[in-house]
Amino acid sequence: MLDSVRLPGTLLAIFLCLLAVMAPLAGAELAQGMDRTRGEQPDRYFVVFETTPGEAERRIVESSGGEVRHTYTVVPALSAYLPTRTLLALEGNPDIVRIEPVIDAVPDEQEQASAQGYQWGVTNVGAHRIHEEGYFGKGKTVAVLDTGIDENHPHLNVVKGVDCTEPGCPDGQQDGHGHGTHVAGTIAATIDSPVSGVAPGADLYAVKVLRDHDAGGFTDDMLAGIQWAAENAAHITNNSYGFDQEPAGSTLLEAFARTYEDGLLHVSSAGNSGNEAGLGNNVTCPARYDSVIAVAATDGDDERRSTSSTGPSLEITAPGEQIESTAPRHADNSDTSTRKSSGTSMAAPHVSGVAALAWAANPNLSNEAIRELLVETAHELGDADLYGHGLVRAWPAVTAALSAPTSSQDDVRDEIRGAVAFDEVTTPQCAPVEPDKKIRATNWRN
């Protein structure tokens, strides 16, 4: 009788021991599952090391349960999916400098309409006059970091295309949204297009960093796109997206700064976080970074669009109201119509195009020199917090480039290195944090 009484107690003790062992594992799996489903906290992270990560650093992350997406050389980091248990395991690793959350960007509202006619923005910045003199931006390459570009569009000269929304940035550029194709057309639609771009002779890189279904994107994909553009000898990057909230960390900022130091010229939309009164400091990132030209938007009367972001980070202004540009075609390639859209996303590519025109006119200039002459030749419009230095102008910019003294890129690097200490770099506040804590990208809105 005693044995029959003890047996259930023994089984119970064994069960309790097993439960004690399995509970933490089950909790970790549950935490990992929660990481994948909840929207409040991202599950992609930048993992920053002391030196450029290699196989050993990948093993550190993967052996702890992480899934690596991108490995970077412009900054000593990689990005990866890190469930909670992996975060806890990596926190005390002496080889890791810091771990930062990757931001999931959400698009602004959109405005789209089919249309035909001449793109008024090209004439507003005076690019058509430069075309008449035989300057088209030939020899310069603009990397369009966006939703991709229609890969077989007859009026867009795309020489390379990659999809950085996939790990490793494999080949692929197709635009399932339309935003990137529109931006690309404003920069460099060919001279025989119904809506010729500002620099119709420039080459285009299609660097897909934004999703098709909502034009949102993750900052680790954007960093991968910046790195790819630098490694493939792009001259200019156009970044028609932005964050209305400060990213937690400086990894993306450092990538922009280091590639700018190495000769890339970065142009970005300033954002559509402005208000009718033009009050506040609400320029978004990456436009607010020192290494990036922040572009505001104006209408046909050279007046600021009411939603165009404002603040001391603004550098220059360009047309951004009802801009007509190229649109993706139908699957049967029958539709080569254009579309009108508005926002600072549409303003930034005008500046990228003018930069390509000026740089092609004098290829010996540095990116810093091109940036300076864009500012110096801009047409002043008013308050610098609303318009920066004024409206970008193609004719004076190209004229200034042709007569400018040249400086080596090494000289420019020395100047920039003297002004920026990368080990002490801090992230600026990119814009007021909205009550819902959402981060918004792609400034394509009404």
Number of domains in the chain: 2
CATH number of the domain at 114, please: 3.40.50.200
What are the b/e assignments for 324-352, b being 16+ CB within 10 Å? Answer: bbbbbbeeeeeebebbbbbbbbbbbbbbb
Distance CA(286)–CA(256), nearest Å, equals 8
Segment of 148-157, 254-263, 278-287, 426-435 carrying the highest mean pLDDT: 254-263
**Domain interval for residue 145:** 109-441
Q: What is the mean pLDDT of residues 68-94?
A: 95
Query: What local confidence, expressed as pLDDT, does residue 18 receive?
Result: 40
The answer on 334 and 225 residing in a single domain is: yes
Distance CA(46)–CA(55), nearest Å, equals 16
* Other Cβ atoms closer than 10 A to 413: 16
Residue 294 has pLDDT above 90, yes or no: yes
The CA distances from residue 167 to 54, 67, 71, 217, 423, in Å, are 16, 10, 9, 13, 27
User: Which residues are identified as catalytic?
Assistant: 146, 179, 345
Query: What local confidence, expressed as pLDDT, does residue 329 receive?
Result: 80
**DSSP β-ladder status, 67-71 and 77-81:** antiparallel
The answer on 196 and 85 residing in a single domain is: no
Q: What is the mean pLDDT of residues 328-339?
A: 68
The answer on 367 and 242 residing in a single domain is: yes
Q: Is the separation of the CB atoms in 140 and 229 below 8 Å?
A: no
Residue 243 has pLDDT above 90, yes or no: no
Entry field: residues in the chain: 446
Q: Which residues contact 381 (CB under 8 A, 6 or more apart)?
A: 298, 302, 304, 317, 387, 390, 391
Q: Is the separation of the CB atoms in 315 and 288 below 8 Å?
A: no
Query: What local confidence, expressed as pLDDT, does residue 119 receive?
Result: 84
Query: What local confidence, expressed as pLDDT, does residue 151 receive?
Result: 86
Residue 428 has pLDDT above 80, yes or no: no
Whether residue 57 lies inside any domain: the answer is: yes
The CA distances from residue 190 to 152, 201, 202, 294, in Å, are 13, 7, 9, 26
- Name beta bridge partners: 51: none
Q: Which residues contact 67 (CB under 8 A, 6 or more apart)?
A: 80, 81
The answer on 229 and 96 residing in a single domain is: no
Mean pLDDT (the chain) is 83
Band of pLDDT at residue 405, cut at 50, 70 and 90: confident
pLDDT digits (tens, 9 = 90+) for 367-401: 999 999 999 999 999 999 999 999 999 999 999 99
Band of pLDDT at residue 71, cut at 50, 70 and 90: very high
**What is the percentage of the chain residues whose pLDDT exceeds 90?**
69
Query: What local confidence, expressed as pLDDT, does residue 111 receive?
Result: 52
